[in-house]
Amino acid sequence: MKNKEELRRILKRINGKGYKAYKDTTGSYDFSDYVFIIDHVQGDPFALPSRVRVRVSLKRSAIPLEIFHTKSREIALRDYLARQFSKSVGKYSKGVRGVGKSGLLSIDTPGQEVLEISAVSVDNESIEVRFTLGLPAFGRSVAGKEAETIIFAEIPRIVLDSLFYENIDNDSMSKHVKTVEDADFIRSELKTLGLKAFVPDGAILPRASGADNCPLLSKHVVQFTSPDSLRVEINLPNAGKITGMGIPAGITLIAGGGYHGKSTLLKALELGVYNHIPGDGREFTVTVANAVKIRSEDGRRVSNVDVSPFINNLPLGLDTTSFSTEDASGSTSQAANILEAVEIGTDLLLIDEDTSATNFMIRDRRMQELVSKDKEPVTPFIDKMRQLRDEFGVSVVLVMGGSGDYFDVADIVICMDEYLSVDVTEKAKEIAGKYKNGRKAEGGPDFGALKKRFPVKSGFDPSRGKSDAKIVARGLKSIDFGNYNIDLGAVEQIVDSSQTRAIGMAIYYALNKYINGARSLGEIIQLVMRDISDHGLDILTKFPTGDMATFRGQELACAINRLRTLKIS
Ligand code: ADP
Ligand code: MG
């Protein structure tokens, strides 16, 4: 490690020289309060900014060990520090100066969810923060003086302000880690309680807008209130006793009039696989970790999925036990989405009528009369959900305001009424007894077999042009994998583009390490997730990067399943 004065000398020496001279600054420098590391210098002022790190010893920072002595707390602290660092950048960085990204300081900052991120790590020795710095230039020449200001004046202030215990708002940090710990506690309690999800009394579920995940702050917000019949009590390690609605294993229907808050409740359950920051309103709205949102997704590619539990007798005699298409329909895509989710392993499917194919959900008595079963390839979900529950232990929460036929197969019916939830199970069963739906159950007595699929290496080509591997995440919902685009537009439980980036790299990792035609997709996903859990996200990249966040095996599988070149042996 070099002394920081060495870095100052280098900057003075290269001032005004060609931009490439910045390469000389690569290395580690002792700033006494912390170590400053320049990992990778950008090629020019317009390229992706340079990758840098600071490492503060825990002794100097003085953040007490008990703040992060559990894994939950550690993840929460890392998330908290990233947010603080970002705020301090806002306070102390003068921002862009010079051309391109000159002077731009930036750290990957999470949204409403608390994810395990690669931007910050902590252990018993030190805190490491990874961020990017646009090394400044005038024209194509090194702006040495400006670089010196950023590195010797701005960054030290940011580090001091955000990473030293004495300058951190202790109450808010403590609340952050305790909230996340409590949410994880609820998730771990669900099993003991026989529940698949929990929504606390007092939760604020609606969001500010369709494009803004912050809580809706308005005097018209109705706080969530559990029906008495479903109310459970949980004793949290930090917040103490809370009550709320427990959604038990089985089939839960959410009925109610349009605009009464059905989809808002389901959305909160979808994102309940993640923890949320204090003040979000959904802090303790928690779902089993492997819950999967299912929707229709016409146009997606499907590779060799056995969709025969739902789809049979397709026109032209197309095989549905190993069904492939470049352009799935609404119903076939929804069937494939369910079977792929169950293949990877899920305890809970979350389905909203708003994003479902009608003919996948509903086939009523009259339609059964008009179109006989041998002319209708689709066996509707209503005839399959009990088999899913009984044969595979898969529960379902289904938003259904449009068809009372579902009363027959539901275990619980909740009605949303002006944003309040009411348990109407008895009434719904009474109605089902009084007005028979007259349907004939379709699709046979069993769900049907679940088939494993074995991806082969030749179905993955990450190369583009001269590069052996070019994998670029484009925002939240799109990954360029070599020359092919993976469209994740309908994968609704990805919440952060840093997850998308990590998923892209994880496909490449799986390809190099585990995909061999002999391992099933389920096994491959399990192995990759185990490696990440054991060794961290850094195993996915050659160099340390600060822009990845953890994701679930389900979403990794979603990305692989949507690769248009995927081949199954
Ligand atoms: P549904 O699916 O029943 O048609 P939504 O869940 O889409 O209804 O909600 C309709 C509207 O009501 C949305 O704009 C949503 O933000 C708002 N909303 C949902 N829940 C609440 C609530 N608890 N308090 C106030 N507004 C809410
Ligand atoms: Mg809706």
Angle between helix 553-561 and helix 497-513 axes, rounded to 10 deg: 70
Does pTM surpass 0.95?
yes
Main-chain phi, psi angles of 141, to 5 degrees:
-110, 150
Q: Quote the tokens at residue 9.
A: 């000398």
**What is 496-538 written as a DSSP string?**
-HHHHHHHHHHHHHHHHHT-SSSS-HHHHHHHHHHHHHHH-GG
State whether 8 and 122 are in the same domain: yes
In a domain, 332, yes or no: yes
In a domain, 212, yes or no: no
In a domain, 366, yes or no: yes
How many residues in the chain? Answer: 569
Rounded-to-10 torsion of CA 16, 22, 24, 28 = 130
Q: Is the Cβ atom of 542 under 6 angstroms away from ligand 1?
A: no
Report the distance separating Cα 153 and Cα 466, nearest Å: 41
Element (H, E) at 262: helix 262-271
State whether 163 and 39 are in the same domain: yes
pLDDT of residue 315: 87
Report the distance separating Cα 162 and Cα 178, nearest Å: 19
Which of 168, 200, 222 marks a domain boundary? 168
Q: Is the Cβ atom of 263 under 6 angstroms away from ligand 1?
A: yes
What are the angstrom distances between the C-alpha of 387 and each of 117, 331, 433, 442? 39, 19, 22, 12
In a domain, 520, yes or no: yes
Q: Is the Cβ atom of 70 under 6 angstroms away from ligand 1?
A: no
Q: Is the Cβ atom of 215 under 6 angstroms away from ligand 1?
A: no
Q: What is the best residue among 259, 269, 354 to mutate for testing ligand 1's pocket, by most ligand atoms within 8 Å of CB? A: 259
pLDDT of residue 317: 86
pLDDT of residue 9: 98
Q: Is the Cβ atom of 267 under 6 angstroms away from ligand 1?
A: no
Reduced to 3 states (helix: H, G, I; strand: E, B; else coil), residue 347 is coil
In a domain, 282, yes or no: no
Which residues, including other chains, have CB under 8 Å from residue 245's CB and lie 6 or more apart? 198, 199, 200, 201, 224, 226, 227, 230, 231, 232, 421
Q: Is the Cβ atom of 220 under 6 angstroms away from ligand 1?
A: yes
State whether 161 and 93 are in the same domain: yes
Which of 168, 193, 225 marks a domain boundary? 168
Q: How far, in Å, is the centroid of ligand 1 from the Cα of 263? A: 7
Main-chain phi, psi angles of 398, to 5 degrees:
-125, 125
State whether 13 and 159 are in the same domain: yes
pLDDT of residue 311: 97
Q: Which atom of ligand 1 is nearest to the CA of 224?
A: 23
Q: Are 460 and 442 in contact (CB under 8 A)?
A: no
Cα–Cα nearest to 338, from 299, 390, 391, 297? 297
Looking at the 3D structure of the chain, how many domains does it have?
A: 3
Q: 231-236 and 240-248: which strand pairing? A: antiparallel
State whether 17 and 164 are in the same domain: yes
* pLDDT tens for the chain, residues 1 to 569: 999 999 999 999 999 999 999 999 999 999 999 999 999 999 999 999 999 999 999 999 999 999 999 999 999 999 999 999 999 999 999 999 989 999 999 999 989 999 999 999 999 999 999 999 999 999 999 999 999 999 999 999 999 999 999 999 999 999 999 999 999 999 999 999 999 999 999 999 999 999 999 999 999 999 999 999 999 999 999 999 999 999 999 999 999 999 999 999 999 999 999 999 999 999 999 999 999 999 999 999 999 999 999 999 888 888 899 999 999 999 999 999 999 999 999 999 999 999 999 999 999 999 999 999 999 999 999 999 999 999 999 999 999 999 999 999 999 999 999 999 999 999 999 999 999 999 999 999 999 989 999 999 999 999 999 999 999 999 999 999 999 999 999 999 999 999 999 999 999 999 999 999 999 999 999 999 999 999 999 999 998 899 999 999 999 999 999 999 999 99
Q: How far, in Å, is the centroid of ligand 1 from the Cα of 420? A: 10
Which residues, including other chains, have CB under 8 Å from residue 309's CB and lie 6 or more apart? 335, 339, 379, 384, 443, 447, 448
**What is 276-338 written as a DSSP string?**
E-TTSS-TT-EE-TT-EEE---TT--EEEE--TTTB-S-GGG--STTEEESS--HHHHHHHHH
State whether 380 and 518 are in the same domain: no
State whether 157 and 49 are in the same domain: yes
Q: Is the Cβ atom of 379 under 6 angstroms away from ligand 1?
A: no
Q: Which ligand is nearest to the CA of 212?
A: 1
Q: How far, in Å, is the centroid of ligand 2 from the Cα of 14? A: 60
In a domain, 109, yes or no: yes
Write a three-state SS string for 24-79: HHCEEEECCCCEEEEEECCCCCCCCCEEEEEEEEHHHHCCCHHHHCCHHHHHHHHH
Q: Is the Cβ atom of 259 under 6 angstroms away from ligand 1?
A: yes
The secondary structure of residue 383, as a DSSP letter, is G
State whether 14 and 153 are in the same domain: yes
Element (H, E) at 2: strand 2-3
Q: Which atom of ligand 1 is nearest to the CA of 401?
A: 3
State whether 473 and 373 are in the same domain: no
* Cβ count near 315 (within 10 Å): 7
State whether 39 and 156 are in the same domain: yes
Ligand 1: which residue has its CA nearest to atom 1? 259
What are the angstrom distances between the C-alpha of 516 and each of 126, 511, 560? 39, 8, 14
Q: Is the Cβ atom of 221 under 6 angstroms away from ligand 1?
A: yes
Q: Quote the tokens at residue 96.
A: 């862009």
Domain of 144, in residue numbers: 2-168
State whether 374 and 489 are in the same domain: no
Q: How far, in Å, is the centroid of ligand 1 from the Cα of 264? A: 6
Which of 168, 203, 220 marks a domain boundary? 168
In a domain, 443, yes or no: no
State whether 20 and 136 are in the same domain: yes
In a domain, 197, yes or no: no
What are the angstrom distances between the C-alpha of 298 and each of 309, 320, 326? 19, 17, 10
